[in-house]
Amino acid sequence: MTDMPAKGGRIGVGMEIYEQQNRRQTSGKGHFIAGMAVGIVTALLVVCVGYLGYQIQKKVEDGSRNSQQVNADNAGQNATLGQAVSEKVDILKYMIDQYYYKDDIDRQALENGVYQGLMDAVGDPYTSYFNADDFNTFMEQTTGAYYGIGAYVAQDIERNYPKINSPIPGSPAEEAGLRPNDIIFEVDGVSTYGMDLDKVVSLIKGEEGTSVNITIYRDGEYMDLAVERRQVEIPTVEHEMMEDGMAYIRIIEFDDVTPGQFQEALQTSRNKGMKGLVLDLRGNPGGSVNAVVDVARMLLPEGLVVYTENKYGKREEYRCDGSNEFDLPLVVLVDGNSASASELLSGAIQDYNKGTLVGTTTFGKGIVQQLMKLEDGSAIKITVSSYYTPKGRNIHGTGIEPDVECPFDAEAYYNGDFDNQLYRAKQVLEDMME
């Protein structure tokens, strides 16, 4: 984990202290109640993980009678553990009621902390718990328009903080000066250390016309930015014709509307005399698997697009019939913020030698999450499988290396409006078109 220097006058304060501060801000109950919460989380960990594993396992179609018997045995063991844990939790609750020095304990916050602590203990930043309010907020984000700042966020795995993946063009985030890879240190004074991305987004969103104060960390310095909240329409595809018959299409994210927009952009470019294409996936955080597969079917030859496997070995394949295979020179721009579904597409293009990848190594997210709603309105988002490129590569934690390495020149871009990676992509495409 990479340390960040202390903000303000807090010289010498490392990441460990920031984590402790974040926990104090979240609970606000002091060391004793924090100890109780940790104790409850630890006590619940074994039984809850077993229970979740059992529930997911029931969904897997497995014809093996022996496996079913093992599952039944495990369920019996979990029931025994559940009774013991329940008794211990009752004791801990009694001790809190009897001995904790304050009466104003937020029971709901304590309960939510237990569930979130369980998900955190898995050690996977993409597995998380949503209470009913958080889940409703998360689902509202799928409408395509919201009141926010207009920026995609991603997880900085090394620092365990969220970061700006890319601001949406013309958005309040872009106007305020937010840039890709800015670390989101605090939102309205609340530390974001270890926070799930969806919860970071819920902190940033708010009423139209209000402002949110975001503390970012960039190039060794902290900056406080007040960013206005406005209704943000989320585009997914941009396109234009460049010189010498070169077309440019950028896919910002993979949403349900993306395949249609991409098809329209391709057709428009062909009508304008496209002789080669630069496909820009930089800063693309991913999105819908079905959407990216539909886009891939407009580019790839007949064969496998991607496949997933869960821990039981169940495999699911997504294929292409090759009827719409792209027949012109293709260059794909990628960077360290190209993640998940965008890596799926760029990896397949690379495996089939359908195009040349230019830029820097991608993010490295080769896993799939599933959202599971519970009866009380809460939900969990849990990693359920890994995905593999057509040649069987799982790029989780490593990313996809470009065919042509070209680091981004931020100074030239922000001070001179010169995109050196796009310039290099055009050079590569020009050579391919000759």
Kindly state whether residues 154 and 125 are assigned to the same domain: no
Kindly state whether residues 278 and 356 are assigned to the same domain: yes
List, for residues 244-283, the tens digit of each pLDDT value.
999 999 999 998 899 999 999 999 999 999 999 999 999 9
320 touches 277 (CB < 8 A): no
| 74: pLDDT strictly greater than 70 | no
Which 3-state string (H, E, C) describes 270-308? HHCCCCEEEEECCCCCCECHHHHHHHHCCCCCCEEEEEE
Q: What is the pLDDT of residue 146?
A: 61
Kindly state whether residues 264 and 410 are assigned to the same domain: yes
| 75: pLDDT strictly greater than 60 | no
Kindly state whether residues 247 and 389 are assigned to the same domain: yes
Q: Is 331 domain-assigned?
A: yes
Tell me which range, 39-43, 212-216, 377-381, is most confidently predicted by mean pLDDT.
212-216
Kindly state whether residues 162 and 127 are assigned to the same domain: no
Q: Is 39 domain-assigned?
A: yes
Kindly state whether residues 217 and 364 are assigned to the same domain: no
Q: Is 4 domain-assigned?
A: no
Task: Give the integer Cα–Cα distance in Å for 340 and 155.
Answer: 12
Q: Residue 77's pLDDT band (boundaries 50, 70, 90)?
A: low
Kindly state whether residues 210 and 243 are assigned to the same domain: no
Kindly state whether residues 310 and 424 are assigned to the same domain: yes
276 touches 247 (CB < 8 A): yes
Give the containing element (helix H, strand E) for 154: strand 151-156
Where residue 361 sits, what CATH number does that domain have? Answer: 3.90.226.10
Q: Is 51 domain-assigned?
A: yes
What is the domain range of residue 32? Answer: 15-136
The more confident residue out of 208 and 293 is: 293
Last residue of a domain, one of 109, 136, 163: 136
- Exactly one of 134, 338, 351, 426 is catalytic; name it: 351
Where residue 179 sits, what CATH number does that domain have? Answer: 2.30.42.10
5-9, 26-30, 387-391, 421-425: which range is least confident on average? 26-30
50 touches 74 (CB < 8 A): yes
Kindly state whether residues 79 and 53 are assigned to the same domain: yes
CA distances for 1 relative to 34, 156, 348, 393, angstroms: 24, 10, 31, 26
The domain tally of the chain equals: 3
Q: Is 9 domain-assigned?
A: no
Q: Residue 13's pLDDT band (boundaries 50, 70, 90)?
A: very low
26-40, 63-77, 205-219: which range is least confident on average? 26-40
Task: Give the integer Cα–Cα distance in Å for 174 and 129.
Answer: 31
The mean pLDDT of the chain is: 82
Q: Is 326 domain-assigned?
A: yes
Kindly state whether residues 286 and 256 are assigned to the same domain: yes
Based on the residue annotation, tell me whether 346 is a catalytic residue of this protein: no
Q: Is 10 domain-assigned?
A: no
Last residue of a domain, one of 91, 115, 136: 136
Q: Is 200 domain-assigned?
A: yes
146 touches 231 (CB < 8 A): yes
Based on the residue annotation, tell me whether 128 is a catalytic residue of this protein: no
Kindly state whether residues 266 and 328 are assigned to the same domain: yes
- Exactly one of 354, 365, 381, 426 is catalytic; name it: 365
Q: What is the pLDDT of residue 140?
A: 62
Based on the residue annotation, tell me whether 280 is a catalytic residue of this protein: no
Tell me which range, 12-21, 52-61, 305-314, is most confidently predicted by mean pLDDT.
305-314
- Exactly one of 166, 340, 346, 385 is catalytic; name it: 340
Kindly state whether residues 190 and 244 are assigned to the same domain: no
Last residue of a domain, one of 111, 136, 161: 136
Q: Residue 7's pLDDT band (boundaries 50, 70, 90)?
A: low
